[in-house]
Structures are given as C-alpha cells and as structure tokens.
Amino acid sequence: MQSTVNNPRDTAACPLPTSYRRRLTPSANLLPRVLLKNQNLEMELINISEDDFYPNRFWAEIEMDIIKHMEQEIVPYDDAPFELLNPSRIRYYFVLDSPPIDIGEYLIGDVIQIHIASYVSLSNTAYIKWFKEPLNLSPFEENTTILSEGAEGILINGIRDDEFGHIRAVVYDFSKEIPGSVAVAERLFHIRKDITKTCTGSVRSSHSCRCNVGFEGNGVHCIDIDECTQGMPYHCLPKAACVNTHGSYKCQCVDGYDGDGIYSCIDVDECVQNRDICNEDALCVNTLGSFLCVCQSGYFGDGNQCIAASIWSPWSPWSICSATCGSQNQMRIRMCTHPESGMRCEGPSAELQSCEEREPCPVNGQWSEWSPWSVCSASCFGIKTRVRICDEPPPAYGGLACSGPTEQGTTCGSGDCPVIGIWSSWTAWTPCPITCGMSLVKRSRVCKEVFPGNRVADCVGSNQQERSCGFPVDYCKYLPQSPDSIMTGRWI
C-alpha cells in the first residue's frame, strides 16, 4: 500500500526521523516518545517498545531544495529488492537490535529445536518468519524444518558447519490503524559451535570423542589448555606477550609495535598514524616502541604544552626626518614578544641614527648668568652693579639678539650711616593778603629720606621762604579799587 504526504518543513538538509514500523501512520504519533536534538541531527528514543527493534527500521531523510515542496511516496512496508541494491542518497536507515539469546554449544550433526513460545507471547493471529544471519532472507537447507508455519518453532535435523551463528525469528501480527500484518516483535538466537571436541556417531562417550588440539580431557569433557604456561608450539618474540585464547593462544606485540608477535613485531610510527598526537607547536619524533613530542624552534616545554619563547619583534620603520634645518635623529623600536613566558630579550629596544645634514638653523642669543655684584662705591649709601653677556649662545645664522639691560645697579652701604635727606619741591606761594600796600607771602618744602636710616633725615637749608607782595600806598590811587578796599601796608 502506498500513500503521499506533503513535506511541511522549510529548512533544507534537516533530517526528519520517523519509524519504519510506523511508516504508514502520521509522524506526529511518534513525537511523545521521540526527541529531536542538535538541530534535528540527533534523535532520542524514550521508553523503547517491543516493535522498535529490528527489522522495524528508523530513517533520517535529508530534505533538498529541489524536492522539499514535492509530494513523496511512502514506500511499502516490506523490504524491496530495488531499495536494497540501490540505497537512497537522501534517506539513511538504522535499526535497534536486541541481544541474542544463547542456545548453547553443539557439534556438527546435532539435532537442534527452538520453540519460539518460550521467548515471546503469541496471539492466535500471529505468524513467524525465520531468517539465517547475516545472510538476511536466505533460505534454509533441506535439513531445517519450520514447525507449524513458524508459530511453534524450528527444527534443525543435523546442523551443518555453515549453519552455526545467528537465527532470527520475526513475529508478524495485526495492529491498529495499519492495514495488513506488520512486524510486532523479533528474537535473535545464537547457536555456538563446540570446538573443544570431535565425536563420531550419535553417542557422546570417551570412546567416540576426543579433545581437539588446544584442549585436554576425556573426550566428553574438554578444557582449554593454557599454552602460555604449558608451552607454546611457536614462541613469542621478546617484544610480544602470550595471550591465551579458547583452544589456542596468540602472541601480542607490546604497545608501540605491530605484527603477529611470532615472526615480527615492527615499530609503529605513531607520528604517521596520528598526526595530531602532539601539541600544534611541537614536532612528533618516532622512537622504538613509542614517540616523543619536542617543542619546535622558538618554543619550550615538555612537548604536550609548548610556550612561545620571548623574541624580538621585527624593527619598526625609521621615524621621519621632519627638520628643515640643522641636525636631527631618527628612531626605530622593537617589542619583546610573549611576556607570559617570563623570559627577557637581550639587546636594546630602540636605536637612533642621524638624519641627512642640512643648513644650520638660526640661533637666538641667550643671556649668560649675572656676574657677581661689584664692590660698593661708598661705605655709606653707595652703589654696586653687576653685568651679563649675550653669549650663551651668542646670536648666529640670523638669530635674534638678547633683549633687556646688560647692567643692573642697586644701593649698598652700612645701615648706621647718617640719614641723608633731600628737599621736596616747594609748595605754591600763599596768596597776598592785601590788594593795596605791601605784605608777605610764604612757601615751604619737606626734607625726605633718600636712604632709610635710624635717625631723622637732615637736609641743608631752610624749609620756608618769604617775600613781599602788593604795591606802595602811593600807587594805590592808580588802581581801580574803591577806597574802602585800601589797606595800609608796612615796609619789610
């Protein structure tokens, strides 16, 4: 039966897990116990049920842009030969398989009967298909009988050498919502071959059975011989260890060597087999039976962890010579890398070199330091001086001369010297007190200190002056004043 569905997904290259068992039912029925993870790249099954096991396969289907909007047919439930020979490039299958049920050890020719009812519950409508593994769907030989259409079991009347191994029973029955019968359960059986003995006839006795090579006993009961302790037909090489196996032994080369252990144990080049075995900053060095990780040049450490050694970075470009006159140096620098290593770099971190010579630059003059003060010119209220010269440096190549005085002076002398004063300017003459006749007018001045002292300043001369003013009385009549304003003066 076939059906069509519309793909509801819009994202390309996303797997869409679903169940082979539930192939004819809506995928939403799986969601309660199917979790999609890692952007649909992982699927987690919760509470695995009986019919989740083989051959009820699951698949992940990759949606391509070219087909994601197309209707897709649901393939039939049964395996199609075309699908087995031509696997899909967009659908990938996987199965869950149950552990095999061990039936036991048997010899060639033994009769084996498996009753399925002992291992799974069957309904009245169920039927069973039996398959040989790993050749799935291959027919049984004529010595194998399917009992009651498989519902009772299987009978192998004289097992052959190629029939040992796995036999699978798949239970088919009817299920809700699915037309026709579908697989509802499966069981995998394991029939082991008894390699300890060889018997003739159907009776197992010490007369008819003998232990095979690698075993010892009475023929009926045979136990494994430990060749590693009782002697080996072929001795192991010094670089190989003896490992006992069921019925035999093997020589296993020690770690770092490969071979059969009897004729050869060849050193394994771990550096070739696993190129990422060492740190990315280390080199792998193969040794006999092992290997070494050695840090590359410029790194130090044990090979598993390599730390970059501190080294100088390349020099920076020289700085630009920007001066238009005179001389200038240009500089370049470098850095000591990887300070986390705790190492120091030897040598300077900066270098200087002279730029190309140019015309001298103008030099402005600069004053020298002031000279010491000269000797005081007098013991009382003298003068002392000091000088400086414009020569540190002197003006050159058109530079400016120094500005300011070349000499300075200041007073000097003992403070106990007489206080010398100087007269201030005379004040204005007082007004003449009369308009007719003769009288006097005055003016004055003040003696001021030129240099401070402990006594009153002394100036030479008088601090006041007088002189006459007005006109003789005889001349008053010639003046335009009224007689009432005439005052008689006196001679001085």
Give the integer Cα–Cα distance in Å for 234 and 487. 174
Fold classification of 101-194 (topology level): Immunoglobulin-like (2.60.40)
**pLDDT per position as a tens digit, 257-267:** 999 999 999 99
Domain residue ranges of the chain, discontinuous segments joined by +: 4-94, 101-194, 270-303, 421-485
Side-chain-side CA neighbours of residue 328 (13 Å): 16
Give the integer Cα–Cα distance in Å for 97 and 185. 11
User: pTM of this prediction?
Assistant: 0.49
pLDDT for the residue numbered 127: 85
| CATH number of the domain located at residue range(s) 421-485 in this protein | 2.20.100.10
Most confident of 72-76, 96-100, 136-140, 405-409: 405-409
Give the integer Cα–Cα distance in Å for 420 and 426. 19
| Averaged pLDDT, 162-188 | 82
Fold classification of 270-303 (topology level): Laminin (2.10.25)
Write phi, then psi, for 116 (nearest 5 degrees). -65, -30
Residue 173 clears pLDDT 60, i.e. is over it? yes
In the chain, % of residues over pLDDT 70? 78
The token pair that represents 226 in the structure block: 């430990």
More confident residue, 22 or 286: 286
Contact 211/196 with Cβ under 8 angstroms?
A: yes
CA distances to 5, 23, 76, 408 from 73, in Å: 7, 11, 9, 117
More confident residue, 477 or 47: 47
Residue 65 clears pLDDT 90, i.e. is over it? no
Q: Which of 170-174, 344-348, 412-416 has the lowest mean pLDDT?
A: 412-416
**pLDDT per position as a tens digit, 104-144:** 999 988 889 999 888 988 888 888 888 888 765 456 777 77
AA identity, residue 219: G
Residues with Cβ within 8 Å of 370's Cβ and at least 6 positions away in sequence, in order, are 386, 387, 388, 408
SS3 content of the chain, % helix, strand, coil (to 5): 10, 35, 55
pLDDT-derived band of residue 481, with 50, 70 and 90 as boundaries?
low
| Averaged pLDDT, 227-254 | 90
The token pair that represents 377 in the structure block: 């010119």
